[in-house]
Structure 1
């Protein structure tokens, strides 16, 4: 049986680790939260007392951490010197491309294979095992990771070399943030011009203005498929997380001198939205700023 060390059991990581257990992996988990560890134990994970203990006998290490500084710290101080030479390292955190590349270089210096594999799909997809993985790294390592990633997701895409997974994630979420704001603007304008929201949805979702933000995640209550808007914007993908990803996109754009005016505007709007006390609300709650 393949042993997977899973480090980071937050809202996303807990569901991912649970699906690994369901798919026959021996999961040894660690998190700083006692509540998260108790939940993982109930799901069938073995519980380690430290990251070092969790990774010491692992065939594969999966990390799901908040930010690049956490990834850099845990790999340099607790993982790279405590794993076997054949251990495959997979970081599923969403972080900046520069840090992803640096950690991969450090792993390579110790002759370890590493992938950056951020995810898309949110908490529900993590729990349901239907995540999309955007993977950066060597083709050989990507092929080795198929089994473990397939246990947690439904679509696994090799985006390119090291850092490509992170690049794909931040570009995707910049597009998502900007189109959500445009979708909210369109519904506001349609309503003020006298159009019924459902009627506008029926038209635009089948016309050239169709977007995922509208047809799969409509920000208007009672319109389209079930979405956080129908639950007062609770759950879903927090505005604070969208702001984080937009910040990473702006950092990446600055590093390569890319012009992203709509991305910049989206970042400013979500920054204001979070400052107004909406950090924990789903990102589609940005529509409330247009009321």
Structure 2
């Protein structure tokens, strides 16, 4: 079994490390949040007091962080991973970040003599807990193959995507499609209700017809239809509106750098911005339905969903 260093123990990193511990690996974790670190320790992770302490003697280092700026800060500088990990340590970043930051870490790691792969994930917090994530892994083929062996306890699918940054490219394009699907699912669900269709009957039709999507089957934004939907729990987050806004923004930035028009994507980003402006950024992204059914609380109102939000 391996010695694993893990930097970033939040909503995704916490359950992912729990699965690594269950698989028999020795996991040392570091996070700036004491609460996140304590939760990971309760699941068998050994607490480290710094990035340097976490990576000492590790066979592999995973990072799972919110943004490119955080990844850069953890890898670079005198207290970073590249300064303190052994050169034979495999480096795996599973954050969802911008292409430029991913390329910068690839370049710096290679220059310092490290093997590095970008390996973002799809599947959300439920997939992290269940060990059923999809990993999209970009980098040199030998490093990708070795990374796959470490990733297995956390994954249902491990898909090599090609060279450096292609994992991130796959992730941001996939999430772009997801959030557009979520917005269209919300509009269809509300319109079907207002046309008098039973919510379950309509879902049964759409889920086996051309309106089907992962968003419809997993995140349907109407309570009482799909067990995994946040709509059943007051839109408690499985994937926050703030993160959705960030991720679709990554796709838009990449599109602008490649002169690719994303008119629908830009509109959906604006919808998530309206949720954030309405004080609902920490709620589940499927609360986008409140912009269709009119239940979004007014700015300054309670951050709890309005009565009947997302309902028929």
TM-score range, shorter chain: over 0.9
- Asked whether the equivalents of residues 270 and 286 of structure 1 are also in contact (C-alpha less than 8 Å), the reply is yes
User: 2:258, 2:154 → 1: CA distance?
Assistant: 33
Matched position secondary structure for 1:157: strand
- Asked whether the equivalents of residues 215 and 225 of structure 1 are also in contact (C-alpha less than 8 Å), the reply is no
Matched position secondary structure for 2:135: strand
User: 1:71, 1:252 → 2: CA distance?
Assistant: 18
Aligned to 1:256: 258
The gaps in structure 1 that reach 5 residues or longer are: none
User: 1:248, 1:110 → 2: CA distance?
Assistant: 27
The gaps in structure 2 that reach 5 residues or longer are: 294-312
User: 1:229, 1:40 → 2: CA distance?
Assistant: 28
Matched position secondary structure for 1:169: helix
Q: Deviations over 1:127-148 (max 9, x none)?
A: 2211111111111001101221
Matched position secondary structure for 1:111: coil
User: 1:184, 1:192 → 2: CA distance?
Assistant: 13
Deviation at 1:37, TM superposition (A): 1.9
Matched position secondary structure for 1:6: strand
- Asked whether the equivalents of residues 30 and 49 of structure 2 are also in contact (C-alpha less than 8 Å), the reply is yes
- Asked whether the equivalents of residues 237 and 285 of structure 2 are also in contact (C-alpha less than 8 Å), the reply is no
Aligned to 2:240: 238
Deviation at 1:39, TM superposition (A): 2.0
Matched position secondary structure for 2:219: coil
Aligned to 2:135: 133
Deviation at 1:173, TM superposition (A): 0.8
- Give the structure-2-normalised TM-score: 0.91
User: 1:190, 1:12 → 2: CA distance?
Assistant: 34
Once the two structures are overlaid, the 10-residue window that deviates more, 20-29 or 194-203, is 194-203
Q: Deviations over 1:92-143 (max 9, x none)?
A: 1110011101110000001210011111111121122111111111110011
Q: Deviations over 1:3-53 (max 9, x none)?
A: 110011111111111111110111111111222222222222222111011
5 Å matches for 1:83-162? 83-162=85-164
User: 2:253, 2:209 → 1: CA distance?
Assistant: 34
CA RMSD of aligned residues (A): 1.1
Deviation at 1:208, TM superposition (A): 1.4
Aligned to 1:5: 5
- Give the structure-1-normalised TM-score: 0.97
User: 1:57, 1:261 → 2: CA distance?
Assistant: 48
Aligned to 1:192: 194
Matched position secondary structure for 1:198: helix
